[in-house]
Structure 1
Amino acid sequence: MTRTDPIAELLFGESDATPMSTEPATVKPWEQARACLRSAPKGWLSTVRPDGRPHAMPLMPVWADEAPWFATRPASRKAANLARNPRCVITVADPALDLVIEGTAAREEDEALLHRVAAAFKAKYEWEFTVRGSRVQDDDLPGSPEYAFYRITPVRAYGYGADGLTATRWRFG
């Protein structure tokens, strides 16, 4: 059985020599992290290049089908990196939370799911994609370029409060 909500816990304990809160009451709910990702107009995706160097690029994330998603061109550096190594980090922020999600990204090709993700992009950014079978295209651009939708499956996530003193770690099972 797959758990949909992660275990939330304090990131720092009493023995840590940091000014961070160790009060259990400061643990952020996962819903706050989801809301941050839903509302963030921009995020950053970090992947690993074939030679091991990091690669970070801005992107426009959406929340759909209970997961974070992003779109990229299939020939992009991030798509090539993910084809070789699906591990990645996505970061977003809103006024109340800085969010870091570690996980794996996978390209989706299921037509029904592609339609739901395309609807999320249209609702959030007014960015309209056309889904044709397992292909996603932007018909508003010359040549109707192809895009790929990637779902990020979180492994762990970190949320840092705007006060700079609270931190939560979420572990996914």
Structure 2
Amino acid sequence: MTAEVLDNKEKPTGTPAFIFRQTAPGPTQPWSWAENLLKSAATYWLVTTSPDGHPHSRPLWGVWEQDTFWFSSQNRSGEFLKVNPRASVNLQVGEDVVMIEGSCSRVLGNDDINVLAEGVGVKYDWELTVSEDRVHTRFGQSAPVFRLNPERVYGWAGIAGWESATRWDFPRS
């Protein structure tokens, strides 16, 4: 999300999503519904693509802050994002569906990395320390930090609630 939009505190406006070969009849979901799920979900699924085109999906913890999804990963996802920064994050929250599509970037600098470290501390009661442009656990694990800058978010209420399928567009930064 661009700094200008964040400064103005504009929220995306939902439109009916084109899904299952048709436009959802509505009504659309409000952005507050999707944002609440993005903030409260415990588990997220990150989907990246390997350099040879294979999909790579892994569960992880993360936080939704400043209209951005923040996460760390010590598996192959980080290497894949160097080649292709495009990714998707999907929630694991009952039957409600929220999917973020956008581009990931590596987070550098303690102040920005602390967004994730502090968020994980509050949300999961899990301590992370920050140094050398990485987060570290008390068990000696270390990982780089990334943020997924949303370009588009999709969501609908309940697995059978496709009629409420909503699309929120974010300006590209």
Q: TM-score, normalised by structure 2?
A: 0.84
Indicate conservation of the 8 Å contact 1:65/1:116, yes or no. no
1:63 alignment partner AA: W
Aligned equivalents of 1:29, 1:70: Cα separation in 2: 25
**Counterparts of 2:108 and 2:114 in 1: how far apart (Å)?**
10
Of the structure 1 ranges 119-128 and 89-98, higher mean CA displacement relative to structure 2 is found in 89-98
**Distance across 2 between alignment mates of 1:46 and 1:117:** 19
Partner of 2:153: 157
- Offset of residue 151 of structure 1: 0.7
Aligned-pair CA distance for 1:116 = 2.4
Q: Deviations over 1:40-72 (max 9, x none)?
A: 110111101010111111111212233111111
Query: Secondary structure of the equivalent of 2:155?
Result: strand
Q: Provide closer, same or farther for how the CA distance between residues 21 and 110 of structure 1 changes in structure 2, counting only shifts above 3 A.
A: same
1:147 to 137, 143, 146: 143
Displacement of 1:133 after TM fit?
4.9
The two structures have a TM-score, normalised by structure 1, of 0.84
Q: Please state whether the residue corresponding to 2:144 is helix, strand or coil.
A: strand
- Tell me if structure 1 keeps the 8 A contact 2:98–2:153: yes
In 1, distance between residues paired with 2:34 and 2:90? 11
Contact 2:16–2:165, Cα closer than 8 Å, also in 1: yes
Aligned to 2:97: 98
Distance 1:34 1:70 in 2: 17
Query: Do the aligned partners of residues 17 and 44 (structure 1) sit closer, same or farther apart at CA in structure 2, a change above 3 Å counting?
Result: closer
Coordinate RMSD, CA, aligned:
2.2
What 5-or-longer segments of structure 1 have no aligned partner?
A: none
Q: 1:80 to 1:30 in 2, by over 3 A?
A: same
Q: Could you list the per-position Cα deviations for residues 107-129 of structure 1 after superposition, in whole angstroms to 9, with x for gaps in the alignment?
A: 10121121222010011111211
Alpha-carbon distance change, 10 to 145 in structure 1, aligned in 2, over 3 angstroms: same
- In structure 2, the residue corresponding to 1:94 is in which secondary structure? coil
Distance 1:93 1:136 in 2: 24
TM-aligned CA deviation for residue 145 of structure 1 = 2.3
Instruction: Determine if contact 1:50/1:81 at 8 Å carries over to the other structure.
Output: yes
Contact kept, 8 Å, 2:45 with 2:92, in 1: the verdict is no
- Say if 1:11 and 1:168, in contact at 8 Å, map to a contact too: yes
Structure 2 match to 1:112: 111
Identity %: 31
Determine if contact 2:134/2:145 at 8 Å carries over to the other structure. Answer: no
1:24-43 equivalence runs, <5 A: 26-43=27-44
**Higher Cα radius of gyration:** 1
Flag structure 2 segments of 5+ consecutive residues without an equivalent.
none
Shift of 1:12: 4.1
Q: Output the amino acid matched with 1:44.
A: W
